[in-house]
Amino acid sequence: MIEIKEELLESVLEGAIHEIDDNAAKLISITRKIDAIEPLHFFVNAKQLAKDRTFWSSTADQFYIVGIGKAHTIRADSNRFQKTEKLWRNLLDEAIIHNPFQTPGTGMLALGGMSFDPGIRKSSLWEKFDHSLFAIPEYMLTVNESGYFLTVNVQADAETNANKLAGIIRRNEEVLIKPRPVLSAGPSIQWQEEVAPRDWMDTVKDATEAIEQNEADKIVLARELRVKLDSTVDIAAVLNNLIKTQSNSFVFAFEQGGDCFVGATPERLAKIEGTNVLSTCLAGTAPRGKTVSEDKRIGENLLYDEKNRSEHEFVVSMIKQAMDQYCTDIEIPDKPVIYPLKNLQHLYTPVTATLKDGYSIFDIIGELHPTPALGGVPRDESLEFIREHEQLDRGWYGAPIGWLDSNGNGEFAVAIRSGLIQGDEASLFAGCGVVRDSDPLAEYEETAIKFTPMLSVLGG
C-alpha cells in the first residue's frame, strides 16, 4: 500500500501544472515512499498494462529498479555519449521534479543502453534496439537501503486536469502493486545451435596472425549461440533464476517491442554517487571447481597465469588512463584478487577516484568503452579487425547499459553473460580475448563456459 494520502498526489500535480507557463507539454516526475513490494511482482503486474518493461538489480547491494512504459525516450545514433548527455541535461532543465528523498535511484531516472559499435551495419536481429536508447519510465519502483519508492513520470500541459490525471495514475498503480502468486519455473531448451563455430575458430587464427604482424596486441572476438525453447519465455522467471544463481552480478532486462535483452553481468563499467567514482577491472576467466580444494587450485592458477594476468593489466592500465582526464585521487590496488561467481571466477581490481567539476558519468563511460576486455588493444586497431572479420552484429552485447538519476547518481555495466530473447527463441553471446599465443580450440572452449549462466536459466 502507498504510504501517502491520495489527495497529496493531486495537490502535487496541481502545483506542477500551475508551474507550466505556456501550452507546451512538460514532464512531471513525482516520487513517493511506499510499503515493501517484491520487485519481480511489480515487473509481472506490468504485463496487464501492456507496456515495455525494464529491470535492473545490483544483487550484492540489494538494489533494484523496475521501469514500466516510456514517458520519454532519448535516442542518439552518432556522438552518442555527448548527445545523450545533452538531451538528458535539457530534459532535466525543462522537467518539474518532486522528490523529497534524494537517495540513489529516485527522482526522474533514465534507464537504457547502447550498441557495442554503431560503425557496424545493424542486422535484423537488433532492429528494435537503437544504437543509443534511454527511457524515462512512466512508473518506476526503486528499492535501496533507504526503503521502497514509487515514481510516476507523466507529460502534462497547462490545460491538463490534475484530478483526471491523478485518477489514471492511481488505477495503474493499483494494478502494479497488487501481490502476485509464485513465479513460474521458466522455460526449457528444445535445441541449440552454434553459429558457424569453425569459421569463428578460423577468425581466432586470423587474429593471432594479425597480432604476430604487430597489427594489434589483443583482439576480443565474440560468437553467437542460437537457442529454441519449448514456449514463449517468461522474462520474470528468467530474472528470478538469474537473481538466485548469479550473485555479485548486475541482473538486467530491457524490453523493446516484444524483444528482450536480458542477462547477468559481473562487470561494472562505472558508478557515480555525488563525486565518488568506482570502476572495476574484471578480466581473466576460469571455471569454478567441483570441490573446495579444486576451486582454490583453479583460482590460484588464474592469479598466476601469464595470459590472464596480461589481459587483466591491459584493462587496469586503460581504466587508469581514462580516469586521469576526468578524476583526481585515483586509487588502484597493486594486484588483483579472485572474484567468484556461480559458474566462473575472474581476476578483479577495483579503481576509485573523485570526479572533477564539469564532468559526468557519460564522460567516463565514453572514454572507457570498449574496454580491452571487450574490444582489444590498441582500441582502434582491434575494432577495425572486429568490423572486418567478425561475422556478428553484437548489438547491445558487450556495450554500456545502466541508469542515471536527477540527483547526479548513476551506474553502468558492460552487457556480457547475456542474450536477446524473441518469443520462444534466443540468441546468446560470449567472447574472449585473443593474444599472440592464443589457441583457437582453447578460446572456443572458454566461450562455451561463458554461455553457461544464460543456458542454465533457460533450462539448459
Please state the residue numbers annotated as binding site: 311, 446
The catalytically annotated residue of 70, 218, 271, 450 is 218
Residue 97 CB partners (closer than 8 Å, separation 6+): 29, 107, 108, 406
Q: What is the C-alpha separation between 5 and 331, in angstroms, rounded?
A: 47
Residue 90 CB partners (closer than 8 Å, separation 6+): none
The catalytically annotated residue of 10, 85, 173, 267 is 267
Q: Which residues are annotated as a binding site for Mg(2+)?
A: 311, 446
How does strand 400-405 pair with strand 109-114?
antiparallel
218 belongs to the catalytic site: yes
205 belongs to the catalytic site: no
Which residues are part of the catalytic machinery?
Answer: 218, 267
